[in-house]
Chains A and B, each alone.
Chain A
Amino acid sequence: MKKGATILLLGLLLATAAFCGFYYLGTASCRRMMRGPQPELAWLKKEFKLSDAEFARISQLHAAYLPQCAARCRRIEEQSQRLRQLLSQATNMTPEIQFVLAERARMRAECEAEMTKHFLDVSRTMPPEQGRRYLAWVERQTFLHGQAMEDRHHTQGGSQPAHQHQM
């Protein structure tokens, strides 16, 4: 009986050790990536098979883009605050509200154009095949894919979308 119990226990211990070992080995690259300073850029390097030189260039582009993006976001937020203030006092549409709306829309368009330019810059830094794959991926993941407002109109109207992005 003791021998049988020992064999059963040994089997369970070996199975547990195998599970832990293979899990540990299988997630080693993830842990290494998460320990780095910018895990999302490390992921980009792995996902799009970038060389060290390409990765360094893309990291530079990324670092240069972020402060400009933050500045644009601040300006859009300022316009949004101004709009909230005007709307809290207004009962009718005023030229000032119209101006702030137009100004905010212009800043958003500028933000989208700069973001698209950044995506194109990054894709050009990659090998051509990976660059195309990157562009297709960001198109699916970002504002380039379409707006929630448009989607809602399609859903509510029950009509077919007038335009769909090619995947």
Chain B
Amino acid sequence: MKPNQTLEDDQRLRQVLRQWTVNPPLPPRFKEQVWQRIARSEAQPAPSLRGSLARLLEVVVPRPRFAFSYVAVLLVLGVAAGSLAAQAKTKRLDESLGLRYVQSLDPYRAGPSNP
């Protein structure tokens, strides 16, 4: 086979492939089946709260990424809340001890039992 003839065959093959179209026949009662599926999906009731929670516990929470993020966020919240509460408590106590110091020295700031 000559090289020129091979090239010519390739070009003809490409042309045939470009023109080739496939028109497969639809399965029987295709349209009817599609409408039935649409009707079924519309008729499904909205998921209940209990069902959503169950799905959350069964499917969403056990996913490693979700579980790790959930635990990490709660941990950070716990640390932040604990630190803030401790700061508030320390500040309150500092103020109260400062007042006690002043009251121990200044009769005008002392309680009603002192003159």
A residues sitting closer than 8 Å to B (CB atoms) are: 1, 3-5, 7-8, 10-12, 14-23, 25-27, 29-30, 33-34, 39-44, 47, 62, 65-66, 69, 73-74, 76-77, 80, 111, 115, 118-119, 137-138, 141-143
Contact = CB atoms under 8 A, between A and B. Distances in A.
Given A14-B74, A18-B79, A66-B104, A27 B89 contact: yes
Contact of A73 (B58, B89, B107): B107
Task: Say whether chain B's binding surface is mostly helix, strand, loop, or mixed.
Answer: helix
A17 B78 CA distance: 8
Nearest to B77: A15
Interface residues of B, number: 39
Interface string B35-49: 000000000000000
A26 B87 contact: yes
Interface string B90-115: 10011001111110111111000011
A128 B109 CA distance: 26
